[in-house]
């Protein structure tokens, strides 16, 4: 399958988020455009994939720009699929995972429903969890003038520590603001607007943005490879990081846990700001086997791993 990032078609589809956002929820108008706010982790536009036999190549827009949104076509190529982010907890911070599904115009609702369903078995095995109570359901999603109003069941507010309450808010904010039509989030519980949340009185009296939850994101985010992905040699390892002197350390472990690659790269920003990093890392194995990509900050004091993120993959010989 040949993958295209449809920033022409894709944004037209994303504009339908509010119209079909929740299969069981309320339907509301759409409005507004622009990238979500917050310097921490910039949202990646969900990618849309189509079969390589398509006669016409979709239009694309250079990374970092925001195209004007065209009208979505009334018919879509067969076999269309899209990839989107779901933000879960990893230890006491947030990390994204990615899902690919058959296309549905209600992409915002689909992403939120995936979030509420919790990590898959493979994601849990990799260390992902969630701060959102398992009984939480999505009642509705309305997007208007760039603001997503997310209506969740009352169980979303079940008592937990302040950190847990903040993390669960951040999970929703980061998951829905990946879409360029959403710049902020308002919360409702069973149809009632929420201005003060949880047992510790977190103020939600204005739209919530990524910038307000920047400190909830893990210092190192791994965007590629994906959990369970079969990787080629060399493998591209990329993401974002906010680490000392922007130095990102990388190891690859084989099926026995032995280190078969050990290197580092430099992010575009560090020591107090988040930058992008990417490295092509060569490894060697005798046969295809399970392996692990480990991305971390190396301690300046003793070289120990700080903030490690471990991504299980399949290594190819």
pLDDT score for 12: 38
> What single string gives the DSSP state of each residue in 223-265?
EESPTT-EE-SSEEEEEEE--GGGEEEEEEE-TTS-EEEEEEE
Does 27 have pLDDT greater than 90?
A: no
Give the range among 17-21, 178-182, 241-245 with minimum mean pLDDT: 17-21
pLDDT score for 45: 55
**Shared-domain flag, residues 249 and 194:** no
> What single string gives the DSSP state of each residue in 26-65?
---------PPP-SSSPPPPPEEE--TT-SSPPP---TT-
Does 30 have pLDDT greater than 70?
A: no
Q: For 21-30, what is the mean pLDDT? A: 35
- If one compares 32 and 156, the residue with the highest pLDDT of the two is 156
**Shared-domain flag, residues 143 and 182:** yes
Does 230 have pLDDT greater than 80?
A: yes
Kindly report the CATH number assigned to the domain that includes residue 236. Answer: 2.60.40.2550
pLDDT score for 105: 84
In this structure, is residue 97 part of a structural domain?
yes
In this structure, is residue 196 part of a structural domain?
yes
In this structure, is residue 263 part of a structural domain?
yes
pLDDT, tens digit (0-9, with 9 covering 90-100), for 281-305: 999 999 999 999 999 999 999 999 9
Give the range among 63-67, 181-185, 204-208 with minimum mean pLDDT: 63-67
In this structure, is residue 56 part of a structural domain?
no
Q: Read off the tokens for 183.
A: 């710049």
Q: How far apart are CA 78 and CA 53, in angstroms?
A: 11
**Shared-domain flag, residues 118 and 10:** yes
Q: Choose among 56, 64, 55, 76: nearest CA to 10.
A: 76
Q: How far apart are CA 237 and CA 224, in angstroms?
A: 5
Name 280's bridge partners. Answer: 236
Q: Is 120 exposed, middle or buried (0-12, 13-18, 19+ CB in 10 A)?
A: middle
Q: Read off the tokens for 94.
A: 């947030």
**Shared-domain flag, residues 41 and 100:** yes
**Shared-domain flag, residues 33 and 99:** yes
**Shared-domain flag, residues 107 and 194:** yes
What is the distance in angstroms between the CA of the first residue and the CA of the last residue of the chain? 22
**Shared-domain flag, residues 194 and 237:** no
Give the range among 15-29, 71-85, 163-177 with minimum mean pLDDT: 15-29
Q: Read off the tokens for 201.
A: 């009185």
**Shared-domain flag, residues 150 and 238:** no
- pTM confidence score: 0.78
Q: How far apart are CA 172 and CA 115, in angstroms?
A: 8
Q: How far apart are CA 162 and CA 232, in angstroms?
A: 42
**Shared-domain flag, residues 77 and 171:** yes
Give the range among 7-11, 165-169, 176-180, 187-191 with minimum mean pLDDT: 7-11
Domain span at residue 14 reads 3-51+61-216
Does 9 have pLDDT greater than 70?
A: no
Segment (H or E) for 124? helix 121-125
Domain count for the chain: 2
In this structure, is residue 251 part of a structural domain?
yes
Quick one: DSSP state of residue 99?
Answer: E
Does 199 have pLDDT greater than 90?
A: no
pLDDT score for 174: 98
pLDDT, tens digit (0-9, with 9 covering 90-100), for 140-169: 999 999 999 999 999 999 976 677 999 999
In this structure, is residue 224 part of a structural domain?
yes
pLDDT score for 60: 30
**Shared-domain flag, residues 44 and 112:** yes
Domain final residue, candidates 216, 237, 272? 216
């Amino acid at each position: 399958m040949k993958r295209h990032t449809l920033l022409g078609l894709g944004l037209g589809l994303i504009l339908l988020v509010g119209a079909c956002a929740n299969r069981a929820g309320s339907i509301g108008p759409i409005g507004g455009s622009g990238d979500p706010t917050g310097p921490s982790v910039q949202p990646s536009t969900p990618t849309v994939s189509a079969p390589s036999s398509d006669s016409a190549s979709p239009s694309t827009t250079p990374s970092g720009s925001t195209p004007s949104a065209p009208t979505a076509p009334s018919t879509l190529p067969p076999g269309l699929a899209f990839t989107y982010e779901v933000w879960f907890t990893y230890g006491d911070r947030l990390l994204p995972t990615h899902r690919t599904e058959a296309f549905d115009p209600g992409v915002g609702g689909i992403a939120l429903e995936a979030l509420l369903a919790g990590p898959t078995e493979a994601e849990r095995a990799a260390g992902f969890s969630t701060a959102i109570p398992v009984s939480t359901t999505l009642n509705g999603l309305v997007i208007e003038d760039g603001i997503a109003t997310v209506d969740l069941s009352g169980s979303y507010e079940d008592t937990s520590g302040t950190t847990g309450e903040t993390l669960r808010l951040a999970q929703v904010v980061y998951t829905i603001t990946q879409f360029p039509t959403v710049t902020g989030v308002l919360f409702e519980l069973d149809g009632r607007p929420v201005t003060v949340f949880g047992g510790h009185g977190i103020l939600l009296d204005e739209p919530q943005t990524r910038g307000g939850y920047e400190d909830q994101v893990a210092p190192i985010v791994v965007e590629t490879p994906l959990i369970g992905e079969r990787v080629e040699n060399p493998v591209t390892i990329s993401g974002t990081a906010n680490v000392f002197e922007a130095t990102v350390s990388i190891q690859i472990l084989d099926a026995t846990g032995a280190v078969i690659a050990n290197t580092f790269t430099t992010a575009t920003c560090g020591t107090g700001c988040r930058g992008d990093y990417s490295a092509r890392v060569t490894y060697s194995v005798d046969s295809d086997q399970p392996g692990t990509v480990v991305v971390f900050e190396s301690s300046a004091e003793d070289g120990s791993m700080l903030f490690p993120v471990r991504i299980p993959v399949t290594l190819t010989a």
